Amino acid sequence: MQDNIVRIEDLSHRYSKDWAVKDVSFEINKKGILGLLGSNGAGKSTTMNILCGVLSQTQGKVLIEGIDMRANPEEAKKRIGFLPQNAPLYLEQTVDEYLTFCAHLRLIDKRKVKEAVDTVKEKCGVAHFSNRLISNLSGGYRQRVGIAQALIHKPMLVVLDEPTNGLDPNQILEVRNLIKEIAADRAVIFSSHILSEIQATCQDIIMIEDGKIVFKDTMDAFNNYIEPDSLIATLGNPPAETELRAINGIKDVEFLTEKTIRVRFEPAADIAENIVELSVLRKWRLKEITLEKSSLDAIFAQLSNKKSKPAIQ
């Protein structure tokens, strides 16, 4: 029995002279949600398009449940559900018409098409819109229909490219919860350039920058790498900006309100402790102090200088 749901070996792809992805390798051996994080243009979409058989790689190998995507693409694709960033919806069709069409594309037995459609409609919460034109659905429900087409043939791997992009906060929460339910019995790859989306949804993470993996491990391990680089303090009697800037290790000071400041500092500097001590000494009357995590750009810079972690098991 094949242990790997996904195995990618030394994957590289070049557009003209530029490498979009270079020497990417990882495995997925379990159910759950793997976050694929990277800034725009980092190589995420290229990796997913190759993984799903949309694009043929320049070098390397992609195996889906042991089946080589390049050597046997039809069998490999049967095991994948894919929702690209722009959901492939036919807006002039009803939800039922569209999902029935997708079931036939996935070569589901004609006698089982209705059951398959009904199952994914119920799972994705769109059963009450069966006869509604997709053009008349909200963005959140259109995304649910897009996820439904990715599930209709019961794949062991579902790949979602920016699935919460363009949704309002309530819709984002609904789609997050749906993805977590889906991942209970299959592997899900969740791609995003938004760190908070990955943190809120995924158990494991692969981080790509400039086409290369700079981090791969659990989300808990990733969060331990994120060092604070700023803090927010509320002071009853705040000092002048120049007085704060004079503290060793402080890079920048920003007054958010008359009494609330954001301080950016050098890594590993004990700024919070210094501000607490100085507040007592100089009677700044500190009321609250909160560390902020690094920005995504700062994290990329930190991790790009570290060796990537072992493959996810």
DSSP codes, 39-108: -TTSSHHHHHHHHTTSS--SEEEEEETTEETTTSHHHHHTTEEEE-SS----TTSBHHHHHHHHHHHTT-
List the structure tokens of 251. 């890079």
Residue 291 burial (CB count, 10 A): 12
pLDDT of residue 228: 74
Confidence category of residue 307, pLDDT binned at 50, 70, 90: very low
pLDDT of 21? 94
pTM, entire model: 0.76
Sequence-distant (6+) residues with CB within 8 A of 8 are 24, 25, 26, 27, 47, 51, 60, 61, 62, 63
Amino acid letter for position 144:
R
How does residue 292 score in pLDDT terms, banded at 50, 70 and 90? confident
The predicted-structure confidence for 118-168, as pLDDT tens digits, reads as follows: 999 999 999 999 999 999 999 999 999 999 999 999 999 999 999 998 888
CA gap 90, 98 in Å, rounded: 7
> Rounded CA gap, 118 and 125, in Å?
11
pLDDT 10s digits, 41-78: 889 989 999 999 999 999 999 999 999 999 999 999 99
Give the closest residue to 302 by CA, choosing from 257, 254, 268. 268
Average pLDDT, rounded, for the chain: 89
- Report the distance separating Cα 175 and Cα 170, nearest Å: 9
pLDDT at 313 over 70: no
**Measured distance CA(47)–CA(210) in Å, rounded:** 12
Q: What is the pLDDT of residue 296?
A: 59
At residue 82, the pLDDT reads 95
Residue 308 has pLDDT above 60, yes or no: no
Read off the pLDDT of each residue in 90-108 and give the average, rounded to a whole number.
97
At the top level of CATH, which class does the domain 6-225 belong to? alpha beta
Q: How confident is the model at residue 1 (pLDDT cuts 50, 70, 90)?
A: very low
pLDDT score recorded for residue 19: 92
Summarize pLDDT for 170-188 with one digit per residue, the tens: 889 999 999 999 999 999 9
- Identify the DSSP state of 129: G
Please report which confidence band the pLDDT of residue 108 belongs to, taking 50, 70 and 90 as the band edges.
very high
* 306 membership: H or E segment, kind and range: none
Quick one: angle between helices 113-124 and 169-182, nearest 10? 130
Backbone φ and ψ of 112, nearest 5°: -110, 5
Identify the CA nearest to 103 among candidates 124, 83, 118, 85. Answer: 118
Q: Which fold has domain 230-292?
A: Alpha-Beta Plaits (3.30.70)
| Cβ-contact 216, 206 below 8 angstroms | yes
> Each residue of 126-145: b (16+ CB within 10 Å) or e?
beebeeeebeebeebbbbbb
pLDDT for the residue 301:
62
Domain ranges for the chain: 6-225, 230-292
The residue-averaged pLDDT of 217-229 equals 80
